[in-house]
Amino acid sequence: QVQLVESGGGSVQAGGSLRLSCAAYSEYTYESICMGWFRQATGKEREEVAAILTGDSTTYYADSVKGRFTISQDNAKNTLYLQMNSLKPEDTAMYYCAASPWSICVGLWTFVDHYKYWGQGTQVTVSS
């Protein structure tokens, strides 16, 4: 069982930055799993944002955020981050942290069903 708790959301103007955090709590130590960030805007489906394979820190990004967002991890703190720069109004959404029980991201990280554990989400609002 893995519990995920997101924080760091808020309201910013276009061009601004935010850093989201996702604290992971588990009674087990996983050598390597795929962890990701998803987002869901009002009235839209949940979409992938970025993912990281915790064992070797390989990262994956959606085209819409490539070059603006950075996913990273702090293993000592069991925390996942999403640094979001040059924010746009279309980035407005509820952002969710997710963890997969499998040690693979490639080819699968964009699929919601690849992840078993989800946080409750943190709201990001970008105004123009």
pLDDT tens, residue by residue, 45-89: 999 999 999 999 999 999 999 999 999 999 899 999 999 999 999
Q: Which residue has the tokens 């969710």?
A: 96
Please give the average per-residue pLDDT across 12-24, as a whole number: 98
- Residue 98: is it exposed, middle or buried by C-beta count within 10 angstroms (0-12/13-18/19+)? buried
Q: In this structure, what are the phi and psi dihedrals at residue 50, rounded to the nearest 5 degrees?
A: -160, 160
Tokens found for residue 108 = 């699968």
| Per-residue pLDDT band at 10 (split at 50, 70, 90) | very high
The pLDDT score that the predictor gives to residue 70 is 98
87-121: pLDDT as tens digits? 999 999 999 999 998 999 999 999 999 999 999 99
